[in-house]
Copies of this chain bind each other. A is one copy, B any other.
Amino acid sequence: MQLMSEKSAAEGGLRERKKRATRAALAEAAVRLAAEHGAEKVTVEAISAAAGVSVRTFFNYFDTRDDAFVVIDAEAGARMRRAVVEAPAGLSPLEALREAMAAELAEAEQQHELWRLQAEVLHASPHLLARGVGAHRAAEEDLADAVAERLRGAGGTGGSGPGSEPGLYPRLLAAVASVAVRTSMDHWSAHQEEAAFLDVFREVFTLLAAGLPAPSA
């Protein structure tokens, strides 16, 4: 048992780094090829070839061909979970989720070109959007748990037992937050010139916090 913390980029031994590199290469190849030829026309074989590995290896990294277009960072879920639990006490659950996701998305947006390409790909192939970012089911469950844990910690009783199923409220919150991400991406990719992505994202949360009233003007 070593006390390493291997969080982000260049941590771990050669093995770990190679794995990360391979995964990233596959994901990037998938997005680039999809942006160029359309997601439907991109075969696993093409992705694997572009990343320099065998087809079989592709499936060691992704359960499904479509996952390669969607999952850019596999550890984002865990980070968001922590961010939600540890967010300042003054924030509402919705705000805590917003900030956790905004931080994550801001980081993803650093790789500007790739991010933009991915948004285009997802916009062009809506069924991929359904899996988008937080939609990855595991991440959503994680978020629901995180919300439940946060509520327990604050003294309120919104969740149920410690390890058991999260209640209706945390579940709904996680689902809504994840749908907020994909709606933002979808809308933004259709209006990339007009507004920055994170602004769209925050506007969505503003609408949600206001209870989705009819736009007055």
Instruction: Report A159-182 residues with CB < 8 Å from chain B CB.
Output: 165, 168-169, 171-173, 175-176, 178-180, 182
Q: Which residues of B contact A211 (CB under 8 A)?
A: 94, 208-211
Residues of B within 8 A of A208 (CB): 172, 176, 208, 211-212
CB-CB under 8 A for A176 and B212, given A156-B217, A169-B207, A200-B168: yes
Are B180 and A172 neighbours in the complex by a CB distance under 8 Å?
Answer: yes
Q: Cα distance A216–B137 when bound, in Å?
A: 28
Chain B residues near A15: list those with CB within 8 A.
none
Q: Which residues of the other chain, B, contact A156 by a CB distance below 8 angstroms?
A: 214-217
Q: How many copies of this chain does the complex contain?
A: 2
Query: Given the known A-B contacts A156-B216, A214-B93, A214-B156, are A175 and B179 also in contact in the complex, defined by CB atoms under 8 Å?
Result: yes
Q: How large is the interface on A (under 10, 10 to 19, 20 to 34, 35 or more residues)?
A: 35 or more
Say if the beta carbon of A92 comes within 8 Å of chain B.
yes
Q: Which chain B residue shows the least CB distance to A215?
A: B158
B168 touches A172 (CB 8 A): no
20 example contacts (A-B, Cβ-Cβ < 8 A) are as follows: A93-B212, A126-B141, A127-B137, A130-B131, A130-B135, A154-B214, A156-B214, A156-B215, A157-B217, A158-B214, A158-B215, A168-B204, A171-B183, A171-B187, A172-B204, A173-B212, A176-B179, A176-B208, A209-B212, A211-B211
Q: Which residues of A contact B (CB under 8 A)?
A: 92-94, 126-127, 129-131, 135, 137, 141, 151, 154, 156-158, 165, 168-169, 171-173, 175-176, 178-180, 182-183, 186-187, 190, 200, 203-204, 207-217
